[in-house]
Amino acid sequence: MGHAVFAEGLRKRFDRKAALDRFDLAVPAGTVCGLLGPNGAGKTTAVRILATLLRLDGGRAEVAGFDVAREASQVRRQVALNGQQSTVDDVLTGRENLVMWGRLYHLSKRQASVRAGELLEQFGLTDAADKRAKHYSGGMRRRLDLASSFIMRPSVLFLDEPTTGLDPRNRGEVWREVKRVVGEGTTVLLTTQYLDEADQLADQIVVLDTGRVAAQGTPDQLKSKLGGDRIEVVVRTSEELPVVRGVLGPDAEVDPDGFRVSAAVTDRVAALTRVTSALASHGVEVEDIALRRPTLDEVFLAITGHKASEVRA
């Protein structure tokens, strides 16, 4: 099979403003593509067009081999969209939510109940199946939302910011479920504002900036463009900053207000050991030292030449 999602020169305007401006995308079947971008970049617009919920103004797109404009009903049979807003009904139990969705998809009562049972099991919700959804944690609710997308076994799943607002543990639970469905052959296009999420889940990342692709590649390719990970050292007094800078090298960035110095590293753990012992031998009192991934703002700055916050709608 070729591309599960393919878009060429997509355009969409709202009033006089372009939300998508010649947007291209190609997602091989069975892989995860992460659409990364700040607020207003056009992520939801792209996903809604591909899921046939929004009409395109120009260009063309195919999903699961069908044209989104001319063969929308065939596309709809192959896709599911998990939007930024939850579809979970709080008053119903997890099981009742899934049965209701099954009925909406025209399953018989019996089929809907069997499918609900299978999905509760697959998404690790069997124990909570008969609790009302209002008592679910954020991660359980998101998993129930995901489970509801799988009622009709879509071949392509669109996830619009699947973990926004979740704490780290709940995010991890959702990531695990996404990895599981991908392992079973589903193609996933997910939007996110978080580099670490795209990094965890995506085979390929497309960086969207004001409706256009600003960069794309594997997570490693994008990070190496930025010089990889960074080491960050926080000290107690500003007098120590020049010493730390001396240890981290001439390209280190100094944040005098935060008593913080950071620099790009390529050899992660070895760098951490080297820097720690060099600082100790200079008698520097370290408040904190850590390795961290570049932030989305740093990715944006490096790729587009402007900060993500400067392109907000």
Residues of this chain that interact with ligand ATP (CB under 6 A) are 14, 17, 19, 37, 39-45, 193, 313
Sign of CA dihedral 147, 173, 131, 165: negative
Please give the single-letter amino acid code of residue 140.
M
Q: Is 82 in the site for Mg ion (CB under 5 A)?
A: no
Question: Smaller CB distance to ligand ATP: residue 62 or 161?
Answer: 161
* Chain CA centroid to CA 61, Å: 21
Shortest separation between residue 82's beta carbon and ligand ATP, angstroms: 13
Strand locations in the chain, DSSP E?
A: 3-14, 17-28, 32-36, 58-63, 66-67, 79-82, 156-160, 187-192, 204-209, 212-217, 230-235, 253-255, 260-264, 286-292
Q: Name the residue nearer to Mg ion (CB basis): 142 or 230.
A: 142
- The residue among 102 and 211 lying less far from ligand ATP, judged by its C-beta, is 211
Q: Which does residue 45 bind out of ligand ATP, Mg ion, none, counting CB within 5 to 8 angstroms by kind?
A: ligand ATP
Main-chain dihedrals φ then ψ at residue 239, nearest 5 degrees: -60, -25
Maximum Cα–Cα distance across the chain: 74
Binding partner of residue 31 among Mg ion, ligand ATP, none, CB cut-off 5 to 8 Å per kind: none
Binding site partner of 40, from ligand ATP, Mg ion, none, Cβ cut-off 5-8 A by kind:
ligand ATP
Instruction: Count the helices and strands in the chain (H runs, E runs).
Output: 11, 14
Q: Is 192 or 262 the residue whose CB approaches Mg ion more closely? A: 192
Question: What is the contact mask toward Mg ion in residues 5 to 44, using x (rule: CB under 5 A)?
Answer: --------------------------------------xx
Nearer residue to Mg ion within complex by CB, 43 or 142:
43
